[in-house]
Chains A and B, each alone.
Chain A
Amino acid sequence: MTDNLNNLMQGFADVMAPLNLLLALVGVVIGTAVGVLPGIGPAMTVALLLPVTYGMEPVQAFIMFAGIFYGGMYGGSTTSILLNTPGESSSVVTAIEGNKMAKAGRAAQALATAAIGSFVAGTIGTLLLVLITPFVVDFAVSLGAPDYFALMLLAFIAVTSVLGSSRVRGFISLLLGLTIGLVGIDSVSGQQRLTLGIPQLADGIDVVVVAVGIFAVGEALWVAAHLRRKPAEVIPVGRPWMGRKDWKRSWKPWLRGTAFGFPFGALPAGGAEIPTFLSYATEKRLTKHPEEFGKGAIEGVAGPEAANNASAAGTLVPMLAIGLPTNATAAVMLAAFQSYGIQPGPLLFEREASLVWVLIASLFVGNLLLLLLNLPLAPAWAKLLQIPRPYLYAGILFFASMGAYAVNAQPLDLFLLLTLGLLGFAMRRFGLPVLPLIVGVILGPRAELQGRRSLQLSGGELSGLVGGPVSYSVYAVIVLVLLWPLVHRFVVSPLRARNAAA
């Protein structure tokens, strides 16, 4: 424990170097600026800005990344409060009350409770990350290949079955991702798979190209096909502030939202959708002003926004300690690690300890910078929302192409980017969720590796996939998740009906 504390202090010392502090500031500013832009969620913000860091040392890159991460998150909530129709599912709930508040002339208070709530939740969440991650690392070190394989299967099942509205569509997206992950030379046997004889495909399709293609190019094409000719109305806003009454009504929802958000983010079936909904429902039940809900209640912004940010901090626990991404942003962050040749997982804390603790320290610093910046800069961010749409999407395609080309300096990547963009377009058209695909691309090859490693130990017997209590329990959870609709129909619903009758 004291070791970690020392490491963290060292991390703070590193971040406080003037150049690094500047990078953190730049990260927060461009993260927020890009995140505020309509149609750009946090995952796309991180994916688009990844190439900016290519020329940097890993430490500097991650300091900037931490800023981009929280900046992108905060930018998204500004958009949903001032524009309604949020770009990403985690901000859906914030928009419900936040936009009503803004329309009622309380935009300043809505933005203030979102900004301060994000700061509170982000700080507590990062603190919990520091406290919990070492235990998860200790646990993860003891895991063998069969356990990792089971955990990755759980992540696959969770992103397809728990989130989203249709299992079939979730699984289709996952399989598409796994297929993309298959392209390239098999790392065990050295055989080419799905490379179509194209030598540049032997190294596989870069995850950054996949993420930018699906998120950025797919979104640009999709919007181009359905561009709202009349730009959405932006609610003008002054400097955010809150009165004493707003503080009194906000602080409990912030803490409750944090309590919902962090654990859900940290679970393999995480994500921000469920905790933000739970937080909203809780605040609606506990509020002393039920008449305001649906018309702009500050609790309905404070709680979900805190839940959203706390869950973002929570997702970093499995991402750093086990190498399991549970939301799109964490998946892109994982890709960023890999582009530096760093593999997240329990060994990360041994091999790259200084890097990890710098990253965590910059999360604290970035969070604080975000609060200091966003209260005075909110009117400027609101102006960004009025950027003419042709310029916005031209800019997205411009930076997407630049980033994808910069990965390997080959034009083929631009054609791949377009193909993936068309896939992203089709997925948006048919309501296929995007997250399972990204998780599939990143975890697929590693799941195959762990699975084959498990079977190597057992000489090819399938029993090798079940190795010890951890994998047993994980498989039990998987079965439960898969059978949940049946359990619900035949056990939960009848019980509930009987209770209601009694």
Chain B
Amino acid sequence: MSSEVKDERTVEDSPPPREGGDRAQYGVCVFLALLGTAVIVDALGIPHITSGTDPVGPRAVPLMLGGLLVLLAALYAVDVARGGRGEPEGGEDVDLTSGSDWRTVLLLIAVFVANALLIERLGWVISGALLFWGTAFALGNRHYFRNLLIAVTLSLTTFYAFAIGLGVNLPAGVLQGIL
């Protein structure tokens, strides 16, 4: 029954099928094949230790998984060649009729990486506020000052509520001793 059931929610949102199918899916095949190979190579580097209590050893499962990944990459390629395509996921805020907005995605990634790099040095209050402000900016909100106010309030509240109130691990960073 699985192959006939179509996911209703994506049907009306999906773009019209492009000519020649969805070629980008071959990229996924290549990724899976590479991943499978990497898993096999990694497994071959593990010493083959077996014992009475563990006749299988640590290598068997990764070798099997790697092999299956390569096999699935091939099966997927066959499916794509026969015109198979996965429906992109719809949602409340998703508009699939226009193309992907890569600029926004890259900006978001940059903001996210900045937070990861700065969180220990500057502390959660500053880096978290930057994360919120930057994300809102990337998604097109231009109320710079208002957003800064919201961002700082949010990061201060979470820091006091979670780090100081509930004992969750959040770094104070440069504001150590001030907060």
**Are chains A and B native binding partners rather than an unrelated pairing?**
yes
Binding site for B on A (CB under 8 A): 38-39, 51-52, 54-56, 79, 83, 85-87, 89, 92, 95, 161-169, 171-172, 175-176, 178-179, 182, 186, 188-189, 191-194, 217, 219-229, 231-232, 388-395, 397-399, 401-402, 405-406, 408-409, 411, 414-415, 418, 421-422, 425-426, 428-432, 448, 451-452, 455-456, 459-460, 484-485, 488
A/B interface sample: 16 pairs, CB < 8 A: A54-B167, A165-B5, A166-B3, A182-B62, A224-B108, A224-B138, A226-B100, A391-B150, A401-B128, A402-B128, A414-B116, A414-B119, A418-B116, A451-B61, A452-B56, A456-B55
Task: Report yes or no: B62 in contact with A193, Cβ–Cβ below 8 A.
Answer: yes
Known pairs A167-B3, A402-B158; A222 contacts B89 (CB<8 A): yes
Task: Report yes or no: B91 in contact with A52, Cβ–Cβ below 8 A.
Answer: no
Chain B 107-140 against A: per-residue CB contact (8 Å), 1 yes, 0 no? 0110111011101100010001001110111111
Least Cβ–Cβ distance between B162 and chain A, in angstroms:
7
Task: Report yes or no: A175 in contact with B69, Cβ–Cβ below 8 A.
Answer: yes
Having A188-B58, A393-B135, A432-B86, one finds 4 other A-B pairs with CB under 8 Å, namely: A224-B138, A227-B94, A394-B135, A397-B131
Least Cβ–Cβ distance between B167 and chain A, in angstroms:
4
User: B168: which of A54, A217, A394, A430 is its contact (CB, 8 Å)?
Assistant: A54
Least Cβ–Cβ distance between A328 and chain B, in angstroms:
14
Inter-chain CA distance A89–B90, complex, in Å, is 10
Task: Report yes or no: A397 in contact with B108, Cβ–Cβ below 8 A.
Answer: yes
Instruction: Point out the residues of chain A lying under 8 angstroms from B86, CB to CB.
Output: 165-166, 169, 430-432
Inter-chain CA distance A399–B115, complex, in Å, is 12
Chain B 56-87 against A: per-residue CB contact (8 Å), 1 yes, 0 no? 11100110010011001001100100001111
What is the interface size of chain B, counting residues whose CB is below 8 A from a CB of the partner? Answer: 93
Smallest Cβ-Cβ distance to A95: which chain B residue = B9
Inter-chain CA distance A171–B87, complex, in Å, is 16
Task: Report yes or no: B132 in contact with A395, Cβ–Cβ below 8 A.
Answer: yes
Known pairs A55-B166, A168-B75, A395-B132; A86 contacts B112 (CB<8 A): no
Inter-chain CA distance A228–B91, complex, in Å, is 10
Least Cβ–Cβ distance between A395 and chain B, in angstroms:
7
Instruction: Point out the residues of chain B lying under 8 angstroms from A39, CB to CB.
Output: 91-93
Known pairs A179-B69, A406-B162; A391 contacts B141 (CB<8 A): yes
Task: Report yes or no: B162 in contact with A228, Cβ–Cβ below 8 A.
Answer: no
Inter-chain CA distance A120–B49, complex, in Å, is 55
Task: Report yes or no: A398 in contact with B131, Cβ–Cβ below 8 A.
Answer: yes
Q: Is B176 an interface residue (CB 8 A)?
A: no
Task: Report yes or no: B58 in contact with A189, Cβ–Cβ below 8 A.
Answer: yes
User: B3: which of A89, A165, A178, A191 is its contact (CB, 8 Å)?
Assistant: A165
Known pairs A179-B39, A193-B58, A488-B1; A394 contacts B132 (CB<8 A): yes
Q: Is B19 an interface residue (CB 8 A)?
A: no
Instruction: Point out the residues of chain B lying under 8 angstroms from A223, CB to CB.
Output: 91, 93-94
Instruction: Point out the residues of chain B lying under 8 angstroms from A448, CB to CB.
Output: 61
Task: Report yes or no: A52 in contact with B95, Cβ–Cβ below 8 A.
Answer: no
Interchain residue pairs A-B with the least CB separation, the first 10: A431-B86, A460-B55, A38-B92, A55-B166, A414-B116, A394-B135, A55-B167, A390-B141, A390-B139, A409-B169
Q: Is B179 an interface residue (CB 8 A)?
A: no
Instruction: Point out the residues of chain A lying under 8 angstroms from B169, CB to CB.
Output: 54, 405-406, 408-409
Task: Report yes or no: B168 in contact with A165, Cβ–Cβ below 8 A.
Answer: no
Task: Report yes or no: B104 in contact with A227, Cβ–Cβ below 8 A.
Answer: yes
User: A165: which of B2, B39, B94 is its contact (CB, 8 Å)?
Assistant: B2
Instruction: Point out the residues of chain B lying under 8 angstroms from A401, CB to CB.
Output: 112, 115-116, 119, 128, 131
Inter-chain CA distance A68–B61, complex, in Å, is 36
Most buried by A among B46, B162, B165, B168: B168
Task: Report yes or no: B166 in contact with A485, Cβ–Cβ below 8 A.
Answer: no
Known pairs A172-B32, A188-B58; A161 contacts B2 (CB<8 A): yes
Instruction: Point out the residues of chain A lying under 8 angstroms from B28, CB to CB.
Output: 172, 426, 430
Task: Report yes or no: B119 in contact with A405, Cβ–Cβ below 8 A.
Answer: yes
Most buried by A among B24, B56, B62, B165: B56
Inter-chain CA distance A167–B52, complex, in Å, is 38
Inter-chain CA distance A194–B59, complex, in Å, is 11
Least Cβ–Cβ distance between A39 and chain B, in angstroms:
6
Task: Report yes or no: A193 in contact with B93, Cβ–Cβ below 8 A.
Answer: no
Known pairs A85-B92, A168-B76; A397 contacts B112 (CB<8 A): yes
Task: Report yes or no: A193 in contact with B42, Cβ–Cβ below 8 A.
Answer: yes
Task: Report yes or no: B65 in contact with A225, Cβ–Cβ below 8 A.
Answer: no
Inter-chain CA distance A451–B57, complex, in Å, is 11
Q: Is B170 an interface residue (CB 8 A)?
A: yes
Inter-chain CA distance A226–B100, complex, in Å, is 6
Smallest Cβ-Cβ distance to A80: which chain B residue = B92
Instruction: Point out the residues of chain A lying under 8 angstroms from B46, CB to CB.
Output: 191-193
Known pairs A165-B87, A189-B54, A189-B57; A228 contacts B93 (CB<8 A): yes
Task: Report yes or no: A429 in contact with B102, Cβ–Cβ below 8 A.
Answer: no
Least Cβ–Cβ distance between B131 and chain A, in angstroms:
6
Known pairs A226-B98, A414-B112, A426-B28; A175 contacts B65 (CB<8 A): yes
Least Cβ–Cβ distance between A425 and chain B, in angstroms:
8
Known pairs A52-B162, A175-B68; A232 contacts B92 (CB<8 A): yes
Smallest Cβ-Cβ distance to B154: which chain A residue = A398
Instruction: Point out the residues of chain B lying under 8 angstroms from A405, CB to CB.
Output: 119, 124, 169-170
Task: Report yes or no: A411 in contact with B7, Cβ–Cβ below 8 A.
Answer: no
Least Cβ–Cβ distance between B135 and chain A, in angstroms:
4
Instruction: Point out the residues of chain B lying under 8 angstroms from A168, CB to CB.
Output: 72, 75-76, 79, 84
Q: Is B37 an interface residue (CB 8 A)?
A: no
Inter-chain CA distance A161–B158, complex, in Å, is 42
Least Cβ–Cβ distance between A285 and chain B, in angstroms:
19
Instruction: Point out the residues of chain B lying under 8 angstroms from A222, CB to CB.
Output: 89, 91, 94
Smallest Cβ-Cβ distance to B158: which chain A residue = A402
Inter-chain CA distance A448–B58, complex, in Å, is 10
Task: Report yes or no: B65 in contact with A178, Cβ–Cβ below 8 A.
Answer: yes
Inter-chain CA distance A448–B56, complex, in Å, is 10
Least Cβ–Cβ distance between A423 and chain B, in angstroms:
10
Inter-chain CA distance A162–B98, complex, in Å, is 32
